Amino acid sequence: MFARPVTRALAAITILAASASAQSTLGAYSPVAAKYRITSVQSTSQIMMGQTQEFQTTTTQLISLAVAKAAGALTLTITIDSATISSNAPAGIPDASEAIGLKFLGTIAPNGKVASSQMTDKSGAPTTSQFATSLRSFLPRLRVGAAMGDSWLDSTTALINQGPATITSQSVITYTLAGDTVLAGTRAWKITAAAVTSLNGSGNQQGADYTIKGTAKTTATVVVSVDGVLLSQSSEGDSNLSVNVEAAGMTIPIVQHATVKVEKLP
């Protein structure tokens, strides 16, 4: 008379055990449609002609993200819906309206690695806007099957157009699966990251050529749901740059501190 209840109990235990096992390692990104708010604050200190200039720039973006299945891979579409910039920088700020409507279209592996991509402006034309650069690396790289405490490496190279300058950014990022957590009632994984970046570039302003060199170090905490959806990301970094204007015999040291917060909206 106890056979059926015992059988059911054993089946329930088996199902629970399988579920726990499936969630004991990091999974892949899953199809989703979501909106995010990105808030970045950058504090800058630079010395020019013996004078120290200090200023702060705050940028807020609202983006729409869609991950969909496509023949064994995933497609990723990110659109900037709105953008605002405020700053007390002496040289003014970029026009935020340029960012609105920028779109990233790409094919990605389940771990977030981009296989192919293109970036377009609101008219659908290809763009190299500085606002589009970060969209390619919006989803942090995962290592499918990673267990708690595991670490893995990623490297990225990006060409950044910043005002009249073109800068090559090369980063090596170490990720670590730090543990599990719960965010807004959703079970998730917490991933920490540490990045070391080299920056090299050049430009021309008002007829004067200049070069830019520097390094940056950044740490971040990423939260990804056990179902494979990015829930949040926060990062903090410091960079030391040197701008050399050879014709004027002038070198401008620049120190920056930046924080970035990514929040998934309800």
Task: State the pLDDT confidence band at 168, using cuts at 50, 70 and 90.
Answer: very high
Separation of alpha carbons 114 and 103, rounded Å:
15
Average pLDDT over all residues of the chain: 89
pLDDT at position 59 is 96
pLDDT at position 186 is 96
Question: What backbone phi and psi angles, to 5 degrees, belong to 132?
Answer: -90, -20
Q: Name the percent of the chain lying above pLDDT 70.
A: 91
- Which candidate, 55, 61, 2, 65, places its Cα nearest to that of 30? 65
Residue 5: its H or E element: helix 3-22
Higher pLDDT, 23 or 46: 46
Task: State the pLDDT confidence band at 23, using cuts at 50, 70 and 90.
Answer: low
C-alpha 121: how far from chain center: 20
pLDDT at position 138 is 94
Contacts of residue 90, defined as CB under 8 A and 6 or more positions apart, other chains included, come to 53, 55
pLDDT digits (tens, 9 = 90+) for 172-195: 999 999 999 999 999 999 999 999
**Among the listed ranges 48-52, 113-117, 146-150, 208-212, which one has the minimum average pLDDT value?**
48-52
Question: In sequence order, what E strands does 163-185 have?
Answer: 165-183
Mean pLDDT of 253-263: 97
Mean pLDDT of 118-125: 93
> What are the b/e assignments for 91-123, b being 16+ CB within 10 Å?
eeebebebbbbbbbebebbebbebeeeebbbee
Mean pLDDT of 20-27: 70
pLDDT at position 93 is 78
| Burial status of residue 5 (CB atoms within 10 A of its CB: 0-12, 13-18, 19 or more) | exposed
Spans of all domains in the chain: 29-264
Contact in structure between 102 and 122 (CB atoms under 8 Å): yes
Question: How big is the chain by its Cα radius of gyration, in Å?
Answer: 22
Separation of alpha carbons 153 and 148, rounded Å:
15
Q: Are strands 230-245 and 186-205 parallel, antiparallel or unpaired?
A: unpaired
Residue 13: its H or E element: helix 3-22
Separation of alpha carbons 240 and 45, rounded Å:
10
pLDDT at position 65 is 98
Task: State the pLDDT confidence band at 1, using cuts at 50, 70 and 90.
Answer: very low
Architecture per CATH, 29-264 = Roll (2.30)
In the predicted model, is pLDDT for residue 114 greater than 70?
yes
